[in-house]
Structure 1
């Protein structure tokens, strides 16, 4: 996926932003894992310091995860979302640092394991967990750094889907539960 982003996008283009549709096409827009990974990486990147970007990432995640939960084979995004621009320099700076971390983990920490958790009915549980992570991001976006937990959860879910790593899917659920617990502490119902 990182190679696709590197070869599919001109880092030195004169436009300050890169269209989200271009990023998603370079990552592989036909399946949920790469799509969630790009959105999840964006959600935890410095680009989300811009006002409203965390909520935009959460809304896109919610749309994708809802489609996954209802069983659509391929994700669909409206044209308005695909036309959104991601700040080029901060996103690629973060992507470069994330790439080195992911390559370090690949094979050592990320691999096919706990595979029954990566298929069948459990994937609906994963999809609903991603929906929950997206929903909890909206109120947490009002607190500095609080949306990192659900953002990390989305990244874990995405890598778990791509690598068929049930352990990462379970860790994504832990991060989602942590975000929910934090939200309950901050805003008790």
Structure 2
């Protein structure tokens, strides 16, 4: 079951914290690879990994790179499988770890994300924890598996991968903040996204 325990001072505690650490990592290295970003958020807890994957897939300039949404979906899928099988640290293939974006692109994407990140950090808090713990966290993991599996196909439907990525961000934030209300919103957002995609493709 996904690891959702309370964060410590060294762990990601919200979107602003995550963005700060990613910006610093990009500035230190002149670019930001997927592997470096994974090291920033940690490879033990599912929530921060979801946040990272969703933010990368939704951010302009970075998420618009062909194949990035699919790569983020694969990271989510591998993370869920490895966590459910009890691995202490998440492994991802080297070809994904080596994918990178320049410091300039990362900085511009992070600047774009700052305002919504600050708002979400202010309104989230521990509540309705039944939806983010125990069986609730298992349902979140299953929903994220479905999102991850669909990412390659959503890249061919305009704007649909953005909705799916927003769902990953919401699920990740729900787990990090232990906010069941955000989890409920994430389920609704995901259902609406796939409902619209189904209507566009088959309607």
TM over 0.5, shorter chain:
yes
Query: 1:154 Cα shift?
Result: 0.1
**1:69/1:124 contact within 8 Å kept:** no
| Residue pairs, 1:97-112, within 5 angstroms | 97-107=112-122, 109-112=123-126
| Equivalent residues of 2:59, 2:113 under 8 A apart | no
* Range with greater deviation from structure 2 (78-87 or 117-126): 78-87
1:97 to partner: Cα distance: 2.9
Distance 1:22 1:44 in 2: 18
TM-score by length of 2: 0.80
Structure 2 residue runs without a partner (length 5+): 1-17
Q: Which residue of 2 aligns with 1:20?
A: 34
Q: Does 1:188 align with 2:196?
A: no
Q: 1:42-80 CA deviation, whole Å, 9 max, x = no partner?
A: 000121222222222222222223334555554332333
Question: Do 2:23 and 2:110's aligned partners in 1 also have CA atoms closer than 8 Å?
Answer: no
Higher relative contact order (CA 8 A, sep 6+): 2
Give the counterpart of 1:5 among 10, 16, 22. 22
Q: Distance in 2 between matches of 1:92 and 1:39?
A: 17
Give the root-mean-square deviation of aligned CA atoms: 2.3
Is the alpha carbon distance of 1:149 and 1:117 closer, same or farther for their aligned partners in structure 2, counting shifts above 3 Å?
Answer: same
Where does 1:30-109 land on structure 2 (aligned, <5 Å)? 30-46=44-60, 47-70=62-85, 72=87, 74-107=89-122, 109=123
Q: Which runs of 5+ in 1 are unaligned?
A: none
TM-score by length of structure 1 reads: 0.85
The count of aligned residue pairs is 185
Change (3 A) 1:179 1:68: farther
1:172 to 182, 186, 196: 186
